[in-house]
A and B are shown apart, each in its own frame.
Chain A
Amino acid sequence: MSTVARARAIALFNPAAPKQGFLQPVFAGPPGDNKVFVQSMSRLNVIDGFLPVDWPERDCERFDNGPFADVGGESVWGFVFGSSAPLVLPWTHFRTEMSKLLSSPLLSESPLLAFDVVDTLDLKPLKTEVFTRAYQQYLSFSREAADNWRDRAILEPVLAAAIKGVKGGLPSSDERVAFFRARIREGQVLIGFDKTGGTLDRALNNAYRALQRNFPMIFPRGAKVSVQPRGSRKVTGPVPARIIVVLVGRIRHEKMQPNRSMTMDARIVDADHFAPDPGAGREPELIIVLGAQGDATEVANVGRRMGTRQTILVILSMAAPSLIRQQELERKTNLPTITFFAPFATGSSGRDPAQQIALLVDLLGAELKRSPGKLPLIANHCLLMREPVRAKQTQTEAAFRLAARALRAGALLDGSAQLYCHDFRLPTGCEEYSALLDPLFRRTHPITQLRPVGRRPTVLLLVERVENAWPSQLSRQFVEGARRLFEVRGWRILNRHDNVFEITDGQRQFGVTILDADQPPPRKARPRRHPASAERRYWWCTAR
């Protein structure tokens, strides 16, 4: 700021500016001072001081007999209307002359410039006419454009002033005053503001009624003022899901079409992109951290990041499981686990793993529904086996095969189990499967019917897994399990000596020896055929 206290308007800056609008007056200081100045104002009508500027003379349009101005005195304003001479006058005189000009046809083709002038200079007598013309100008674009403009340009400033004017209300510096929102929709003046109360509501209602009286063409009569907290803005992020499946490791690179398969309230995300964010909305009820067996360590690591959220680690297995690996996983985490035998989930078969994941989500979703807020697992470490039922296969055969695979994979005999199925061939539901498996596992709930996935009927078994067992214990359990399976199959045991059975199906007799795959089979016990591919770990010996 200069020390100049008095200066005279000698020119207008920016002659190249559009032909209608405000112009910046340029001042000359006392005689002998070659500097030029502009006025500095914190209020529109008063000069705080003069600022020296270094503007080239070519950009200034000089005039004679300009007004003098003093620091602390009235500011000087300039305006130009087309080809007429610019108007350069002190504030009070300027407002009077502008009122006359605005009433003339000169600005009739510029209703929005007129609005800016009247609003800036606060020319109250002209507001009704000029604001209405401005609104109509926007109306010529669209009703939506006009209403949106009206709310921003007229409604909000007036209501903000009303809030500031409330005794004991908020100071004008409060952000809530600066950023509050108001809009008129369907006969209601909706005000987004974090404070309500009798005095404030009355002030807002009064302010709106005054607006309606002054601008009857702009503001609808009878609109009711409704103040609501601003915090209720729509969340535009992903819709919070009940279940989130976090993909870990190589499965992230599989091509998936989750939307096609996922009908549950679930979302699949890449582990890299799942960051628990408490402020993001509703917390999921369950997080499933899912990866291939080879990525088990990473699955455990990602699981730890889930904190106290209800989380299950799911290992997708393509082949017979190595219990050593499972035990390694268990050492790395305290979280519950499911080993899911899903041969096509992690391979390069080109099949979409999302379908397998959808099955898992459906199953756990059904359990969540059954016991809200509880961990939807029957045991801390479980196996999940899926058995598609072939067209010519009976329920007995399918159940037999499913149970055999489960035992071989480490299912705990007499352990907790739950069955899920969809078999549209069975008019009576899926209880047939359940009855066949009851001699082997302890069912916790009636069988759960799932929505069909794919064309084939499918039965799934979620069963408690053996923990910390010696191989010899596992072998004994398997032999006992095999015995019960023979009975499920309808075979009668005639004799048994350890792992050697004599059985009959009513027509023929068979001799069966069950051996651990790690041991070579005895010479006389070479198999002629495998009863089922899933039993490769053990040698089933031949019929006599």
Chain B
Amino acid sequence: MPTSQFRNFVHRATPLDGQLGLTHVTDCARLASLVQSERLEPRLCSVFGEKLIYLFYGRPAYRREWAEGEATSNLDNARICLLLRDDVAAAARRILPFDSGGFNRYSGAFHSSIKIADFELAPGDHPLKLIGAFYSSLERYWTMDPIKPRMFHATQNVVRSYHQLITGGLAEKFDDRCATVEVQLADPLMLADKVLAMIGPNQIFDDPVIKAFMDKCGAEPRGYRLTHMFHPPETSARLYSEVERFLDDKGWL
């Protein structure tokens, strides 16, 4: 039986004003099916044993292992990022304060009694509430600079553990995925009126099919120059920079 400690803590928080949108990162290879179906389809998740779509709040925190290890020139392996409207979070199946795929690594730093379900937000609570509970501004969330120091009661051990996780207060250190709000959707997401922008290599926006899709969504293309040889995980850093730039241009960050 999961404890309601964390969800109650977040539920009572004041959501921050503003918005950052949600990100969905995938490979260019999936572009064809995405623009054809005009929706994101849930895929089987081994952690929760159900079909889910994974989104992150603000930061494009998704990573995929690149087994090949070498640079490539194959456009299919370049990463794209869809920036989705804030209200997509309203359809969340569950919201967690970190990348659930990394929980097995974080949990080693927690007490063994703490389970992933202990960190789920209450239904209806928006990521901005969670951010309001731990950060003084959206910019601080973006730069992973939580409010500190904080004092927690002995009975707030789950909250304290999370705060230690995001402030680097645990013996083991983790990357930004430990502090990025994860939003899971169980139903297909129709993209028509949900996409704010798509970030991807410049050349994908030469494609008339993608242009038609973007026009239909009213989404802004944010192209980046793909180097002639690239290492796909490194394009993740490029996505970060482009998302930050988008939020900056919008005045949201």
Interface positions of A (Cβ within 8 A of B): 13-14, 16-18, 20-24, 38, 53, 77, 109-113, 115-116, 119-120, 134, 137-138, 140-142, 144-145, 148-149, 152-153, 181, 183, 233-239, 252, 267-270, 272-273, 275, 277, 279-281, 305
Could you list some 22 contacts between A and B, CB below 8 A? A17-B76, A18-B75, A24-B73, A53-B70, A112-B223, A115-B225, A116-B202, A138-B205, A141-B205, A145-B221, A233-B139, A235-B137, A236-B18, A236-B253, A238-B137, A239-B17, A270-B13, A273-B13, A275-B151, A280-B137, A280-B147, A281-B136
* Residue from B73, B136, B156 within 8 A of A17 (CB atoms): B73
A112 to B207, CA, bound (A): 10
Q: Contact: A238 with B17, CB < 8 Å?
A: yes
Partner of A141, one of B132, B140, B221, B248: B221
The 4 closest A-B pairs by CB, nearest first: A237-B137, A280-B136, A22-B228, A112-B202
Q: Is the C-beta of B187 less than 8 angstroms from some C-beta in chain A? A: no
CA distance A119 to B133 in the complex (A): 45
Contacts of B175 in A (CB 8 A): none
The interface residues of chain A, by DSSP majority, are classed as mixed
Q: How far is the CA of A185 from the CA of B13 in the complex (A)?
A: 38
B194-217 with Cβ < 8 A to chain A: 201-203, 205-206, 211, 214-215
Given contact pairs A111-B206, A115-B202, A116-B202, A14 touches B74 in the complex (Cβ within 8 A):
yes
**Closest A residue, CB atoms, query B156:** A272
How distant is A260 from chain B, measured CB to nearest CB, in Å?
15
Contact of A269 among B14, B72, B151, B214 (CB under 8 A): B14
Size category of the B interface is 35 or more
Contact in complex: A141, B215 (CB < 8 Å): yes
The reply on B12 being an interface residue by CB < 8 A is yes
Contact: B12 with A272, CB < 8 Å?
yes
> Which residues does B use to contact A, with CB under 8 Å?
9, 12-14, 16-18, 70-76, 132-133, 135-140, 147-151, 156, 159, 201-203, 205-206, 211, 214-215, 220-229, 242, 245, 248-249, 251-253
Tell me which residues across on chain A come within 8 A of B211, comparing CB atoms. 140-141
Give B11's nearest chain A residue, CB to CB: A270
- A16-B74, A149-B222 known; A238 vs B13 contact (CB < 8 Å): no
Please indicate which of the listed interface residues B13, B74, B76, B222 has the most CB atoms of chain A within 10 Å of its own CB: B74
Q: Give min CB distance, A531 to chain B, whole Å.
A: 43
Q: Can you add 20 more A-B contacts, CB < 8 Å, to A23-B73, A145-B221, A183-B249? A: A24-B72, A38-B71, A112-B203, A116-B203, A116-B225, A120-B227, A141-B211, A141-B220, A144-B220, A233-B253, A236-B138, A237-B138, A239-B17, A270-B12, A272-B9, A273-B13, A275-B151, A279-B136, A280-B140, A281-B137
